[in-house]
Amino acid sequence: MLLSIPDVLTREQVAQARQILDQADWVDGKVTAGHQSAKTKDNMQIPEGHPAAQQLGEMILTALGKNPLFLSAALPLRVFPPLFNRYSGGQSFGTHVDNAIRQVPGTPHRIRTDLSATLFFAGPEEYDGGELCVEDTYGVQRVKLPAGHMILYPSTSLHHVTPVTRGARICSFFWLQSMIRDDGRRSLMFDLDLAIQRLGRDLPDQPAAQQSAVQLTGVYHNLLRQWAEL
Ligand code: NI
């Protein structure tokens, strides 16, 4: 499932982040690429563990921790510290699949990458090209979102970034391990959660609807109990 999550960050947060990103030291993005994807990866990154990346990463993770849509869709267990990349002057990233396992820098922990996230820090009007193209069962989905919005997609997907031919595309990208590994199961949980919320919101005065909501909430938690890996 591909999901666009609007307004993860406010305009003020995006503006503040852009000031920091514009002054940061950018290095060749091949530093975090695997052997194969390094051949097709052409962009700039802020080094892992750089103070700017840490500060902005915390801003992002704090915002996501309070975002109901993200929490419901991702059911996150562990989130990789956000990284930052910049494409300009024709830079692109060819078709690849993200590594399945990532070592969390500076810790003994590894995470399994179930979901990949890209959070946009430049608006679509600021650059040409730079679309994130994700291959899913419905074909290629082309993604280019307003600043502050984020796309979440299964890390199992092949994907690429088209060349940026004007301006600069600045994003954060990271991975997460979900409590539910399987994308199909996780999508079912998300659908069920949305339906329960709708019952509570749209039919608050109908006892039969509210009874159903309670019963379905039971189903939700019992499925989570069966499927969650912690
Ligand atoms: Ni990737």
Of the two residues 228 and 36, the one the predictor is more confident about is 228
* Span from the CA of 213 to the centroid of ligand 1 (angstroms): 39
Could you tell me the distance, in angstroms and rounded to a whole number, from the CA of residue 132 to the centre of ligand 1? 9
Give distance in angstroms: CA of 185 to centre of ligand 1. Answer: 23
How far, in Å, is the centroid of ligand 1 from the Cα of 75?
21
User: In this predicted model, what pLDDT tens digit does every residue of 47-56 receive, in sequence order?
Assistant: 988 999 999 9
The CA 199 to ligand 1 mean position distance, Å, reads 37
* pLDDT at site 133: 98
Q: What is the DSSP string of 123-140?
A: -GGG-EE--EEEEETTEE
- pLDDT band of residue 218 (cuts 50, 70, 90) is very high
Q: Around Cβ 66, how many Cβ atoms within 10 Å?
A: 9
**pLDDT recorded at residue 204:** 84
Distance 171 CA to ligand 1 centre (A): 12
pTM summary value:
0.94
pLDDT for 138 equals 85
As a whole number, mean pLDDT of residues 175-183 equals: 98
At a CB cut-off of 8 Å and minimum separation 6, what does 122 contact? 18, 147, 167, 168, 169, 170, 171
CA proximity to 170, closest of 56, 39, 45, 12: 45
The winner for highest mean pLDDT among 4-13, 33-42, 204-213 is: 4-13
Q: Which segments of 101-182 does DSSP mark as H helices, in order?
A: none
Considering only 43-52, 60-69, 84-93, 173-182, which range has the smallest mean pLDDT? 43-52
